Structure formats: structure tokens, C-alpha cells
Amino acid sequence: MSQSLQIAMLVIAYLIGSIPSAVWIGRLFYSVDVREYGSGNAGATNTFRVLGKRAGIPVLIIDILKGVAAVQLPYLSELLPSSVPFVNLQLALGVASLFGHIFPVFAAFKGGKGIATLLGIILAVDPSAALVSICVFGIVFFATHYVSLSSITAAITFPIVVIFVFKTQIPSLVIFSMFIAVLVLITHQKNIERLIKREEAKTRLNKRKA
């Protein structure tokens, strides 16, 4: 695959990630910019809190699909075999879409934290490890109702599962899994502070907050 084609795919992946589903759905159907309420993030969690599940579910699905779509871009070229270099390109495209979600060009570079998009990426790249992380997220969330704590725990679980449970032989996937854990910890610093102070807001999917 030519370098120019790889660069084009990275740009496309970033643009896919930049689709601000929370902002567009909020403005189009509710005349609300979710970034002006709640946590101020343009993500699924804040959409659930501000607009409820009718808006939150579509945003969640779209954000997951952004990660999936970015990782699937190499298949459109039909030029690469299913190999380790292929996985490397998929991971690079996934990271591009993730940064698109966090810094979306279509929404003044003010996006969300990327958890749903990360989920789409890992589901496409390593579905077995992703399912374990999803289960961990679900257990922590239904026990605490803290999305932030659930996301952090699931993110830390992912590299543990990749490295020690499934014992992957793909170095780039190992590095990516650790990158996920570190990134989520960095993007959730304020949440961690609020959790320590017991000031973090809980999320209940059957309620709507204005």
C-alpha cells in the first residue's frame, strides 16, 4: 500500500471520528448543545444525563460505529493481507478516529472523552478482549452507577486481558492496549478527583436530567 493511500486513510479516519453525534443530535432534535450542560463533554454519557436515553442511545451507537468504521477502512482498499502490518494500520486508524472524537474538526475541536469510540475500535480489533472489558464495565456500572469508574476499570482491564489472558503475540496490540489504559486515566483526571471526594455524578439510564 502506498504511503499516500495510508495518509489518506488516516485523514478519513480522523474525519469519521470528528462526526460530533452528540452535538448534532442535540442541536437538531432538542435545540441544545450538550457541551453547555452537565460535564460539558460531547459524548454519550453527557447526552444521557442531559437529554435522556432517546438521544443518548443513538449517540452511543454512532460513536461506537465511528471506531468500527475507521478500523475497517483497510478492507476497502483490498490491497493488504490479514497480517500483523494490517493490524498495525488498523490500530493507527483507530487512534486517528479517537483523536477525531476528542478533538473534532466539525465541532470547534471540543469533543468527548472517546470511550464509546474506543469500544468500537477494540471490538473490531480484538472482540474477545473487548467483550471481557464490556462485562467489567457493566458489573462496575450497575454496582456503582459511575460511568467514569466503570470506564476506567474497563480500560485497565483491557491490557491485562490482552497480555495475560489471551497472551497476544502482536506487539502493536500490546502497546495499544496499554495506551488505552493510560489515555483513559489522563482524560478522566477530573473524574478521579471527584470520585475521591465523592462528588462524582451518578448516571441512571431511566432518568432524564435537564
Tens digits of residue pLDDT in 55-64 = 999 999 999 9
Q: 109-128 b/e with 16+ CB inside 10 Å = b?
A: eebbbbbbbbbbbbbbbbee
Q: What is the pLDDT of residue 6?
A: 86
Q: What is the pLDDT of residue 1?
A: 60
Tens digits of residue pLDDT in 107-145 = 999 999 999 999 999 999 999 999 999 999 999 999 999
Q: What is the pLDDT of residue 208?
A: 47
Rounded distance, CA 52 to CA 58, Å? 11
Tens digits of residue pLDDT in 168-210 = 989 999 999 999 999 999 999 999 999 999 999 888 766 544 3
Q: What is the pLDDT of residue 110?
A: 94
Q: What is the pLDDT of residue 85?
A: 62
Which whole number is the average pLDDT over 71-94?
76
pLDDT surpassing 80 at residue 22: yes
Q: What is the pLDDT of residue 86?
A: 79
- pTM higher than the cut 0.85: yes
Rounded distance, CA 44 to CA 21, Å? 9
Nearest Cα to Cα of residue 160 among 126, 196, 118, 120: 126
pLDDT classification of 148: cutoffs 50, 70, 90: very high
Q: What is the largest CA-CA distance in the chain?
A: 52
Per domain, the residue ranges of the chain are 1-117, 126-205
Rounded distance, CA 72 to CA 119, Å? 14
